Structure 1
Amino acid sequence: MAHRLARTLWPAFIAACALELLVFAFVDPLQLQWASGEPAAGWTRQAVYSAAFFAFWGVCLGACVLTRLLGRTPAELNAVA
């Protein structure tokens, strides 16, 4: 079980790191605004970096889980765990 979990979490972590590097190489966290146009007041750069990283990790984790689910055979899907 731990090995399967690691095979899903680790690629998502690496992808989130790459996304973090790419996005914040070009975006200043203090210039970000909410969808309403308000600045993200009260957030430090570190808070924006952290929140963005976990958001990226969550999206990448979802993609990894979906990939693993779609890669299973019908026998694996129908087996009782």
Structure 2
Amino acid sequence: MSLRAVRAAQILWPAFVVAGVIEMVVFAWVDPGDITLLGEHVAPQAVYTLAFFVFWALTAVSGLISHWLLNANGQSGADHVVAQPSLTREGRRSHRRHHRHHARSMA
């Protein structure tokens, strides 16, 4: 999968899920049968569909703006992740010694 496709999926999939949640919340309080467009009643299925795509588009734009802001300085998103020290055998020993020392000092 290309990097562009991965980035699109990283934006569109969460937006899809959030749009579904927004749809459920909104239509828990709003009856789609009561909605009119230009004085005409619209079928509830059309209201559900149109609302879902509007919610999806808005949340996708929000994700796209966040992605753009993270990469505004020319760095990839991976550059913003704090690197964890590698846990080599010596690193694990040092980590355990640190925790034992910390536990003794707390007692």
Counterparts of 2:34 and 2:55, CA distance in 1:
19
* Matching of residue 17 in structure 1 with residue 16 in structure 2: no
1:50 alignment counterpart: 49
1:30 Cα shift? 1.1
1:72 Cα shift? 1.1
Counterparts of 1:49 and 1:58, CA distance in 2:
14
Counterparts of 1:21 and 1:51, CA distance in 2:
14
Counterparts of 1:2 and 1:75, CA distance in 2:
19
Q: Which runs of no fewer than 5 residues in structure 1 stay unpaired? A: none
Larger radius of gyration: 2
Q: Under a length normalisation based on structure 1, what TM-score does the superposition of the two structures give?
A: 0.79
1:59 Cα shift? 0.6
2:94 alignment counterpart: none
The 4+ residue runs of structure 1 with deviation greater than 2 A are: none
Q: Which runs of no fewer than 5 residues in structure 2 stay unpaired? A: 77-107
Query: What code does the residue aligned with 1:32 have?
Result: I
Q: Secondary structure at the match of 2:74?
A: helix
